[in-house]
Amino acid sequence: MTLQDELDRLREEERRTTPPGVLAVYEKAIGLIASMSATARVIREGDRAPDFDLPSVQGGTVSLQQELAKGPLILSFFRGGWCPFCSLELRAYGKVTRSAEGPPARLLAVSPETLDALRRTMAENHVTFPLLSDPGNRTAHSYGLVYRIPEALRAVYEGLGLDIPGRNGDSSFELPVPATYLIDAKGIVRRAFIEPDHTRRGEPAEFVQGLQRLR
């Protein structure tokens, strides 16, 4: 079963159990986010990946430039551990990176969540690759991925007890569009998957295979 198969099953379950009014808010929000993303200067295939230096749950800071000196890697932006679709993606990458032939696949995952929140995300999803905290979405902004949560969707999240400002450590109500990049050792994006619809993601196996071809 592919990751998208699992995501589709989760989406269908969500549709069965969520009130129609809330589903309408979700669908409208996806459309608004897509329209915002369409006008952004998003980093895509062929672009140079902006450098960053971010704190890691595993300790210390991680620099993209320094990591690329060791070879190509996969860079993933996700909304947070509160998002079940993001959690599925994290677990899928964990499986495929452990089962990949040859050296372990190198992956960095970036979220606006605080380090404390990311520690919970790491534990709940049994993540072994680096999780990086992106305060204020500064790195996600440099990749052109950031959107502001629509007001109606904020109200839904708050009604569900989801504290986005608390998990992110700021009141901006900004999140990154889920995106995955395959970056070669020279810092050039060789493959990209950017999708305003948070229920759709790039296939981890395809990115790991691409990474193996770059080595």
Q: What is the CATH number of domain 3-214?
A: 3.40.30.10
Higher-confidence residue of 84 and 38: namely: 84
Q: How confident is the model at residue 102 (pLDDT cuts 50, 70, 90)?
A: low
In DSSP notation, 123-191 reads HHHT--S-EEE-GGGHHHHHTT-EEEPPHHHHHHHHHTT--HHHHHTSSS-EEEPPEEEEE-TTSBEEE
Residue type, 81: G
The structural domains of the chain, with segments of one domain joined by +, span 3-214
Residue type, 186: K
Report the chain's mean pLDDT, rounded to a whole number.
94
Residue 206: exposure state from Cβ atoms within 10 A (0-12, 13-18, ≥19): middle
pLDDT in tens, 154-184: 999 999 999 999 999 999 999 999 999 999 9
Least confident of 36-50, 54-68, 89-103, 165-179: 89-103
On the question of pLDDT at 101 being above 80, the answer is no
Residue that the structure tokens 């159990």 belong to? 17
pLDDT in tens, 39-53: 779 999 999 999 999
pTM: 0.95
